[in-house]
Structure 1
């Protein structure tokens, strides 16, 4: 690595106003907004607002004034004189409207099994039940204040009714025999970690990608487009030193961004400009802060190598920006892994860059430090960063890196475009795989989700991509006769592969156990008891063997076989 070139790159990046704005100024403005939004959201969930709500009651409503005075606190609810309560609620002058409906003529009697469980209720149940009035609460679900007023009033009225019932049973000398009490045993720090941790990881990845993108994309793709990179290549500095110097510059900028954001966060919390969500503190001890800083540092190194790899594969700054957009979406989606309740750090998610910290940081902020998982995530990020950097070096050492290759026309040009667009296309398919079924009730069942995933995402979408770029189906999925010996060997390897997978799962189980909630959700989705066997075989065995093979080992493998080495190709597919 050339120190002179590194110093030049750092000075050039620091003079770039886009880098300063995206890396330093923009996060300083966005961070208090993020903290304020999370704090307000936490108050909304926990009911910690100090607002006074305007309520009204429909007249005539006999007995309602007594209930309102006794059940609802005047410090929280202010009663207003209303003439047309419905209109005032619609216009927003009222947050809640209360009225009393006439009692029903007949109510169902209690079941006899209740008498067996609670014999003390016999004298009360022998009496003829009387009709009771119904209290109706009218609110607007599109108004946040109205929803909060309804939730608070409903809670207060239920507590008032329970207190009246308990007093009545006490006077009748009737005991329920059991007392139910709920208590949240989590600490404010744990609740704040659960609320704030996933957003902290996603915010850091967002800032690293935004701040480092300008520096990384311009250092190779931009300079190659302007012609300044060719001048540097004919100097005495080797291409390996050039690549390492540019990587070090981008990595230092990314690490500096991480440090600035941590200091920025600490300053806002320390000086009290923005309250920490739920008023919880950072994990005690310098160890937790060092672990958090190390995680952000390795994330910065990984994002720097990823952005530099994109810049090396692009022939112009505009093309690099086109590749950066899907990369940004996928990376940001991976950083939101902490929002999924079924994921824990001791799982396979720790083997995925940017996803592991999204789950690990909330656990760290709550006071649980798992050192083996921490070292595993550090090794994963550094390992992937090394692979990306090595691929960048190999590409820069090619003779055609600066251009000069023969022009491509016809089918070869179509295949090149097809090869460049397929991987981002499959990344969008993976995003659709998680987003679309969860937002449509018809796709939440095994049948709906299986048919949509296999027929639409893995069969129809790749086929339309092939037709759009004019690729032949015979080239993608060549049907050839298989040697009988190879077929027999594959059949013999099936039980051996199953045995090896079972043994590997038992070996990795203590270190990376499968999430129990995810397995329970999978079993609930399968619904083995109520789903016919032929549907299970079709949706789990037959259709994936056809549709997924066509998508991944057909379209994806065919599009990338000229771009990656065999080992890298096997890993990607």
Structure 2
């Protein structure tokens, strides 16, 4: 019997098992087909209820300041015919009324001397963005005042002889793009994310029952005792999971068309799509590798898990992280011809948007499909390798506490820490003092969580985490390493700016958030240099990198620690520079056998915020060839660390 025939027979066996399993069939196919339209309808209904309620409620505002009288007359003129907006005129102090919540917005009127005679009236609208009524009222006031100002300007121009009547627009914009191109571009921005979500939801249940579930029931051992090779078994299971995922997507697409035809789901009349045979072929070429990648990822999670419960727990983070590259079309400046084509899923997502907009480029489409297919093949190979692990195959018991037990749960544990850090920062970031926010995030979440994980898994600080003195030479080599690393990270930022330009306003806002005015330089040295170096190096280079490098590949441990280090510092414009820093710090810890050089390196790298003024101009305009100098310095630093640590006895 040929290998292809064996794979086909195994695939039929897998599909029969999945069809007979009612729970898997309901959760992977039926439930998403019912829940997703209900969720969309519920979301639209809740939004319409919120809007109707906001329209019914009367929004109240008051005017205060030296120019209050003139501002009240202007607002009365601007808001003529606007229902649901009431101006409060009371003898009470408007600031007190606004503070106690009796007002939804407060308009402050100031006067400023003009260049000629007279004064200029300036208005500032104070509102609360966390309250729907307040935000709605602020939007109404701004829009009506802008409209009044435009009408007054046009009236003045008309009085001075310009041929424009009152209310005329000086500029008229006409969209020359066909409706189907506009609709395709809008739909294509999120199409891959929705398809991937359906694929992952369907593949998660199928893959969990296919390997982890069969391992618990004992049927996987029987299957592996046959003459079929491990690669053939994985191939058949991958085809079965892909089949379930594709079936889920097709059923979802059919349901959307059916619900829109029955007008259960609202559908904008101006939306129009044109799917030619070429467009359909491009979609097929792009989405098949995405389906294989999603199925391979879930199959690898199931193969690497000892129990079905562990596989189900790990499927959640994989689904969340898998959606990130699918949202690449949201980034400004990303075109089909950019290097994003080499990023799995992200390149396919960008090319799919272009295909739906009628701009299919088969060369770019092929490159994006190949990059995603290569990642899918890698995951399938890793799943086959996981099935070859006999201790994982025939043992469903958790290993004893130690580095190996932590290595199995490290990704899940650090994902939980990241979620806690993000949620806390989002909830408290706008109102909490920056110093307290950094202390809680660094000390309580990152350092405290890492020490708790180390204690639960019996990780030794010296041998496993690198808390040992390497000698003065490796530590002092961290000084030139930090300087060269900063130059190299700046070069990485310049390279990223070619693909994703960063607005200066975004950089200034980040700098203000990082170095607020109430923080002195001594406090900045503590909260921005010392604490991050101590807490983050203990977590990422000590616990994560140190433990994983002792139980598996050092290169893999370096990539995993760098990934989570970048994830905790996630920001689009500094993602690549942070990854470069993470790799350099990881190399310093691995080559020196200690995290103390990485701690000093990290602290010196962050100390750039303490420098007065801007960086030297030549750093921002340096010729690319000159980046060879910091590379040579880093090579010498790492060589010195390695030679110094190799002369010391290990222990």
TM-score (norm 1): 0.68
Match of 1:525 among 495, 510, 522: 510
- Which residue in 1 is equivalent to 2:313? 322
Distance 1:456 1:263, change over 3 A: same
Distance 1:425 1:360, change over 3 A: farther
Q: Deviations over 1:232-275 (max 9, x none)?
A: 22222233322221122112222333344345445656787645
Does the 8 Å contact 1:212/1:307 carry over to 2? yes
Q: Deviations over 1:278-310 (max 9, x none)?
A: 733236644444434433322221121111112
* Aligned-partner SS, 1:481: coil
- 1:556 aligns to 2:544 (yes or no): yes
Distance 1:352 1:331, change over 3 A: same
- Which residue in 2 is equivalent to 1:83? none
CA distance in 1, matches of 2:43, 2:183: 10
The number of residues matched between the two structures is 523
Q: Deviations over 1:189-226 (max 9, x none)?
A: 67756765554433323222221122111111111111
Could you tell which deviates more after superposition, 434-443 or 551-560? 434-443
The structure with more radius of gyration = 1
Alignment of 1:265-304 (within 5 A): 265=256, 274-276=265-267, 279-282=270-273, 285-304=276-295
Task: Please provide the CA RMSD for this pair.
Answer: 5.8
Unaligned segments of structure 2, at least 5 residues:
62-71, 87-102, 562-651
- Which residue in 2 is equivalent to 1:233? 224
CA distance in 2, matches of 1:437, 1:147: 22
CA distance in 1, matches of 2:536, 2:335: 28
- Which residue in 2 is equivalent to 1:217? 208
Match of 2:411 among 402, 423, 444: 423
Distance 1:161 1:198, change over 3 A: closer
CA distance in 1, matches of 2:362, 2:462: 51
- 1:393 aligns to 2:388 (yes or no): no
CA distance in 2, matches of 1:378, 1:395: 26
Does the 8 Å contact 1:269/1:275 carry over to 2? yes
- Which residue in 1 is equivalent to 2:9? 4
- 1:463 aligns to 2:468 (yes or no): no
Distance 1:181 1:40, change over 3 A: farther
CA distance in 1, matches of 2:252, 2:85: 47
CA distance in 1, matches of 2:312, 2:365: 33
- Which residue in 1 is equivalent to 2:462? 474
CA distance in 2, matches of 1:424, 1:395: 18
TM-score (norm 2): 0.61
Match of 1:256 among 244, 247, 254: 247
- Which residue in 2 is equivalent to 1:87? none
CA distance in 1, matches of 2:355, 2:154: 44
Q: Which has the higher contact order (CA 8 A, sep 6+)?
A: 1
Does the 8 Å contact 1:437/1:449 carry over to 2? yes
CA distance in 2, matches of 1:446, 1:362: 40
- 1:203 aligns to 2:203 (yes or no): no
Distance 1:71 1:404, change over 3 A: closer
Unaligned segments of structure 1, at least 5 residues:
59-63, 81-96, 116-121
Does the 8 Å contact 1:23/1:211 carry over to 2? yes
Alignment of 1:43-58 (within 5 A): none
Q: Deviations over 1:124-157 (max 9, x none)?
A: x6xxx9x9xx9x9x9999678x977985687467
CA distance in 2, matches of 1:269, 1:431: 36
Distance 1:478 1:258, change over 3 A: same
